[in-house]
Amino acid sequence: MQHYLSLAIKSIFVENILLAFFLGQCSFVACSKKVETAIGLGTAVIFVMTITTPASWFFYNILLRKGAPLLMWLNVPFLDLSFLGFMAYIAVIAAMVQFLEMFLDKYFPALYAALGIFLPLIAVNCAVLGAALFMVKRDYNLMESIVYGASTGMGWAMAIVSMAAIRKKLRYSNIPAGLEGLGIIFIMTGLLAMTFMCFSGIKL
Amino acid sequence: MRLIADLFDKVRPNFEKGGSLEFAEPLFEATESFLFTTDKVTEGKTHIRDYLETKRLMSMVVLAVVPCTLMAFYNTGLQRLLATGVANPSILKAMGIGAMVFFPLYIITLIAGGFWEVLFAIVRKHEINEGFLVTSLLFPLILPPTLPLWQAAIGISFGVVIGKEVFGGTGMNILNPALTARVFLFFTYPSNMSGDKVWILVDSAKDKLIDGFSGATPLAVAAAETGGNVVAALNKAGFTYSKLFFGLIPGSIGETSALACLIGAVILIWVGIASWRTMVGCILGATVVSTAFNFLAPASTNAMLSLPFYYHFVMGGFAFGTVFMATDPVSSATTSTGKWIYGILIGVLVVIIRCVNPAYPEGMMLAILLMNAFAPLIDHFVAEANIKGRKKRATE
C-alpha cells in the first residue's frame, strides 16, 4: 500500500509529467483559458490515462515483449515485437478516446460541449502516450501501471487547473504586446516548473 | 524645500509631451514623487479615496524591515568575529562588518534591478513604482553573506524582468519578484546558495578559524542528525532556543532573527498592510504538520520528524518568510478565506519540504513560491463558493 502511495505522490508532485517532463503542452496551453474547461479536460485526461496505461500494459506484456505468452503460444519465442509499441499504444489511446467521446456525449452533454474539439485532441496528447512509454520503460506491473496512469493524469490535471486560474488573474496584467497570449503562457509555465522544483529532491 | 520644488517646476516642461527629454518622463516622475506628494489622481472610471497609496504602503514595509536589517548587520559581523576566534566582539565592530557585507549587495541590487525597472518604465511608458524599493531591500536580506555580487545582479535581473516586468510591473505579477530571484539563484548556483560554506563570511584559506568550526545552519545540523534527539544535537552545536529566537546563528543575511521579524510583523499588522490571517495560517499549518510528524518520528530514521513545532518557527527563513514574503499583497491570495487556506498550506508545505526532502533542508522560500502559483486557484474556488452561497440564499 505504502509503495503505491509513494508512486502516486512521486508522479503527481516530484515527477509531474507536465512540469518536470514538459509533456502534454499543447492542450495545456490551448485549453487553460477557463478554470471550468480545465477541470473538465483534466478529469477527462485522468480518466483516459487510468484506462490506457494498463491497457497498454496488457498489450505490451501479452503480445509485444520478447517471450510474451501470445508469442510463445504461436511458437515464435525469438520474436520481439516491442518496436511496434508506439503504434500499438497510439491505437489503444485513440480507441479509448473515441469510447470516452461517445460516453460523454450520451451522459454528460454539457461537458462534451465544453470540451469540444479538445476531447479528440486527448488522442494526440503526448502526456498520455508518454505515460504508456514510461510504464514500459520502468517495468511496472499491472497494479503499478494503474496507479501510475491515474496519478500522472492527476498531476497533469493539477497543473492545467492552476494554470487556468493564473490566466484568469493574468487578464488584469499589462503584458508587452509581443508576449501577449502564448508568449506569457510559456514564460509562466517555466516559472511554474521552477516552483515545482521544490519537490525535486524527495526520495520515495 | 521650496527651492527644490521650484526647480522641479522649472524643468517639468522638458519632460512633458513634446519636451526634449520626453522619454525620461518616468524617471522625472519617480524622483518628484519620491520627494513630494504627487498631485496625480487615478485615471479611468473607478476611484478609491484612501490615505494609503502604494508609496505610503511600500514605505511602511521598508520601515518594518528596518529591525531585520539592523539585526542583519549585527549578526553577519558577529558570526564572522566568532568564527575567527574573537572572544567578546563589540556590537559596533560587528555592525561595521555586517554593513560592509550588506551595502555592496544592496547597491548592486538597486543598480541592476533599477536599470531594468527604469528601462521598462521608459519603453513601456509606465511609472516607476515604489514596489521596487521593497523588493530591492528584501532581496539582499534573503541571500547568504558570501554570495558574489555578479550573481546577486543576475538574480535580481531575472526577478525583476521575468518575475515582474513581463507581466506589466508592480501589482500585476503572479510570483513575488524577490523570491523568484532567490529561487532562480538557488537552482542556478546551488554551491553559492546552499551547503555549509556560504553562511558565514570567512575565507578558510586566509582567516584563522576556531577549532571545530562548521558553518552549518541549525536546519542543516538538524537534518544531518541521525540519532533520536534533534534538540540535544542542536544544543550540542550551540544552538539554544534563545539563540535561535534572537537570531545569533549562521544563515541568510537578514532572516535569522525571529525577534526582529516579530517586531516587523507587529508594525505591518498594526498599520494594516500585511494580513494577520496569512501569518496565523502559516503558523497553524506548520504546528499541525510538525506535531503529526512528531508522532510518526519513533518509527522512522529521519530525525527531523521529531523536531518540536516551536523550533520550526525560529529556524531558517520561516519567520522572515511568514512576515514579509507570504503576506505580499500582490502574490498572495486576495480573499479572506483564501488567505487562511494559502497561509496554512505554506505552513504545511514548509515542514514537509524540511522534513521529507533531503535535498533542501530549508523550504520556506520554495513553499511560498509554490503557493504563490496556486494563490489564484484558491481565490477562484473561494469566489465561486461565495457566488454559489449567495445564489442559494437569494433563492431561499
Question: What confidence tens digit (pLDDT) does each residue in A7-55 have?
Answer: 998 899 989 999 999 998 888 988 888 898 888 888 888 888 998 999 9
The pLDDT score that the predictor gives to residue B150 is: 94
Query: Is B205 a member of any domain?
Result: no
- Number of A/B CB contacts below 8 angstroms equals 90
DSSP H helices, chain B, are: 2-15, 25-35, 54-83, 91-124, 131-141, 149-161, 177-188, 190-193, 218-224, 230-236, 241-246, 258-270, 276-296, 309-314, 318-320, 336-356, 364-395
Q: How confident is the model at residue A147 (pLDDT cuts 50, 70, 90)?
A: very high
Instruction: For residue A165, give the chain B residue with the closest CA.
Output: B377
Contact: B166, A184; criterion CB under 8 Å: yes
Contact A162 B377 (CB under 8 A): yes
The answer for residues whose C-beta is within 8 angstroms of residue B87's C-beta and 6 or more apart is none
Q: Give tens-digit pLDDT for B253-269.
A: 888 899 999 999 999 99
User: How near does any CA of chain B get to the CA of A22, in Å?
Assistant: 17
List the single residue in B172, B370, B379 with the smallest CB-CB distance to A195. Answer: B370
Three state DSSP letters for A100-142? HHHHHHHHCHHHHHHHCCHHHHHHHCHHHHHHHHHHHHCCCCH
- Whether ipTM tops 0.95, in short, is no
Say if residue B348 is in the same domain as residue B376.
yes
Domain-embedded: residue B57: no
Question: Is B308 part of any domain?
Answer: yes
Q: Are residues B194 and B222 both part of a single domain? A: no
Q: What was the pLDDT predicted at A113? A: 81
Between CA A53 and CA A51 the distance in angstroms is 6
Query: Residue B95: inside a domain, yes or no?
Result: yes
Residues B244 and B346 in one domain: yes
Q: Residues of B with CB below 8 A from A203's CB?
A: 358
- Residue in chain A lying closest to B364 (CA): A198
Nearest Cα residue in chain A from B158: A191
The confidence band for B47, taking pLDDT boundaries of 50, 70 and 90, is confident
- pLDDT at res. B192: 84
Instruction: Say yes or no: A2 contacts chain B, CB-CB below 8 A.
Output: no
- The model's pTM: 0.88
Q: Are residues B257 and B376 in the same domain?
A: yes
Rounded Cα distance between A56 and A58, Å, is: 5
* Angle, vertex CA B344, rays to CA A197 and CA B322, nearest 5: 75
- Asked if B264 and B302 sit in the same domain, the reply is yes
**Residue where one domain finishes, among candidates B169, B199, B229:** B199
Of B227, B226, B62, whose CA–CA distance to B139 is shortest? B62
Residue B246 within a domain: yes
Examine residue B42 and state whether it is found in any structural domain, yes or no: no
Q: A-contacting residues of B 118-157, CB under 8 Å?
A: 124, 126
Same domain, B8 and B78: no
Contact in structure between B159 and B180 (CB atoms under 8 Å): yes
Give Dmax (Cα) for chain A. 67
**Domain count for chain B:** 3
Residue B150 and residue B189 in one domain: yes
B249 and B321 inside one domain: yes
Domain limit, last residue, from B164, B199, B234: B199
Name which of A161, A170, A198 is nearest B370 (Cβ-Cβ): A198
* Beta-carbon separation of B376 and A166 below 8 A: yes
Asked if residue B225 and residue B195 are part of one domain, the reply reads: no
Q: Residues B224, B373: one domain?
A: yes
Whether residue B134 is found in the same domain as residue B257: no
> What mean pLDDT is reported for chain B?
86
Q: A198: pLDDT confidence band, cut at 50, 70 and 90?
A: confident
Mean pLDDT of B294-298: 83
Q: What is the model's pLDDT at position B335?
A: 92
Q: Which domain holds residue B180?
A: 73-199
Question: According to the model, what pLDDT value does residue B228 have?
Answer: 67
- Chain-chain contact of B369 with A198 (C-beta, under 8 angstroms): yes
Question: Is A137 exposed, middle or buried (CB count within 10 Å of its CB: 0-12, 13-18, 19+)?
Answer: exposed
Confirm whether B176 is domain-assigned.
Answer: yes
Inter-chain contact B373–A195, Cβ cutoff 8 Å?
A: yes
> Taking a C-beta distance cutoff of 8 angstroms, is the pair B198, B151 a contact?
no
B231 and B195, same domain (yes or no): no
> Residue B199 and residue B181: Cα distance in Å, rounded?
18
Residue B302 lies in a domain: yes
